[in-house]
Structure 1
Amino acid sequence: MNYKYKTQKVCSQEISFNIEGNVITNISFTGGCNGNLKALSKVLDGWTVEEIEAKLKGNTCGVRGTSCADQLCIAVRKAYDEQKKA
């Protein structure tokens, strides 16, 4: 299933990815720090929701209470929970 998430309080505007069970693939950020987010997307490809949360949840960017990585954690958890309900 392809999932799109509108980010909040960060430079990227949207995160899209595929989710099958709890495995996340094809992560793509719209906007944000292009090189860093491309690298992050490659490194995390094939990781589970739990693995992504364990490494990145709560990561902040500057004075913001969140970051693109933290927003990804929120997005994958939301997608996973919605998928379980369907």
Structure 2
Amino acid sequence: MAYVYKTKGTCSREISVELDGNIVKNVSFVGGCNGNLSGISSIVKGMPIEHVIERFAGTKCGPRSTSCPDQLAIALKEAYEESQK
């Protein structure tokens, strides 16, 4: 299942998430720090969404109240909820 999330409060503008049940199949970011976000995408591939959410939720970027990893956690929650409908 593919899902597109429009980020809020980060340099990246959009996150595309593909799930296979509760497993992260693919993640890609539009905008943001390409090297870091490509690394995050590679790391989370094949992981259960619960593990990614647990590790990334609440991560801040400097003075911001969110970050790209935090937004990924939100995107994964939404994508999974959408897939359960």
Structure 1 length-normalised TM: 0.95
Match of 2:23 in 1: 23
Matched, 1:11 2:11: yes
Note if contact 2:17-2:79 (Cα within 8 Å) is conserved in structure 1: no
Other structure's SS at 1:10 match: coil
Count of residue correspondences: 85
How far off is 1:49 after superposition?
1.3
Q: Secondary structure at the match of 2:69?
A: helix
Report whether the alignment pairs 1:77 with 2:73.
Answer: no
Q: State how far apart, in whole Å, the 1-side matches of 2:29 and 2:6 are.
A: 10
Identity of aligned residues (%): 48
- Normalising to structure 2: TM-score of the pair? 0.96
Structure 1 gaps of 5+ residues are none
Q: Give the 4+ runs in structure 1 shifted more than 3 A.
A: none
